[in-house]
Amino acid sequence: MMRSPRWTSTAVRAPDGAIAVFTEARPSPLVRRRWLRLPVLRGVIALYDTLTIGVRSLLWSAGVAAGADRPLTAGQVGAAVAGGLVVAVGLFFVLPAALIRLVDRFLGNVYALNLAEGALRVATLVGYLAAVGRSAEMARVFAYHGAEHKAVNAYEHDAPLEPGAVQTFSRFHLRCGTSFVLIVMIVAVIVFSFLGRPPLLWRIALRVGAIPLVAGISYEVIRAGGRHRWLRPVMLLGLWLQRLTTREPDDRQVEVATRALREVVEREGASPSFIMSG
C-alpha cells in the first residue's frame, strides 16, 4: 500500500498471477482542515488516518486473495480498526502495567517504575514481532513491507520504478510505522512518569487516556528526527526494529510495490517526502 496526502493505492497479487489494484482519492483530514495541523494534534489525526487506511488495504487484499475484488464498507473497516486497537492497547499498555504491579513495592520511585514498565513494553513488542515473524504467512507480509520501502527509496533517489533497479535499494526506511511504534514506547516512559503512582485500575485508565498525547508527541519526534541530526540515534533504533518487520523481497513482490507507487505518483505527482508506504 502506498499513499500521499490525497491518494491511496493498494496492489496485490491475485490468485491468477495478475496484479489487482485499488486506487482511490482519499484526502487526509490534515489537507482538508488547517486547524488539525497543530503540533501534537496532527500526530493523533495522522495515526488514526494511517490505521484506517492500513486496515482497509489489508482487508481488501485478503478479499482479493479470496476472490472478492471489492472495497469494504465503512462499518467493516471501523470494526477492524476498533478490534486492532483493543488488542494493541491491551497487549502493549494494559498488560505491562498489570504485570509491573507485581514488583511495584520493590521499585523506589515513579521513574524506576516507568522505566521498568517501559522495558517490559518494549520486550513485549520485540517478542511479539519475533514470534509472528516465524510464520511463513507473516514472513511473506514482511517481505512485501520490505518491497514497499525499496520502492520508496528508489523513488526518492530518482531511480526507475522497475524491479531490477528497485531491488538495489535498502529495505529500511525512516518514515515507517515500525519506527513510530518504537518512538511511542520511548515517549510513553516520559509521559507516564508525570501521571504518578495511582492504584492499578486508575493507572491503567490514565495510561489508556494518555495514548493520544503520546502518539502526538511521538509524531513530532519523528518529524524532528528528519531535520535534526542529534535525534538520529533515536531514529536508528526504529531502523533496527525494522529488521524484524521487513524481509528481503523477490522480484514479483517488488513488482507489486512499484505498481502501487506508480499509481500514486501518476495521479498526484507527489514530492518524495509525501510518499509513504503502508
How far apart CA 270 and CA 264 sit, in angstroms, is 8
First-to-last CA distance in the chain? 5
> Phi and psi (nearest 5°) for 270?
-65, 150
Q: Does residue 133 carry a pLDDT above 80?
A: yes
Q: What is the mean pLDDT of residues 50-70?
A: 73
pLDDT at position 36 is 81
Query: For residue 118, what are the CA distances in angstroms to 129, 206, 213, 252?
Result: 17, 15, 16, 39
- pLDDT at residue 150, rounded to an integer: 95
pLDDT digits (tens, 9 = 90+) for 4-13: 777 888 898 8
List pLDDT tens digits, range 140-188. Answer: 989 999 999 999 999 999 999 999 999 999 999 887 888 888 888 889 9
pTM of the model: 0.83
pLDDT of residue 8: 84
* Residue percentage of the chain with pLDDT more than 70: 90
pLDDT average, residue stretch 237-260: 93
pLDDT (0 to 100) of residue 77: 60
CA atoms within 13 A on the CB side of 38: 4
Beta bridge partners of 19: 13
Q: What are phi and psi of 62, to 5 degrees?
A: -65, -35
Nearest C-alpha neighbor of 254 from the set 101, 151, 168 = 151
Counted residue by residue, the chain has a size of 278
Stretch (H or E) spanning 83:
helix 74-89
Q: Is 52 exposed, middle or buried (0-12, 13-18, 19+ CB in 10 A)?
A: middle
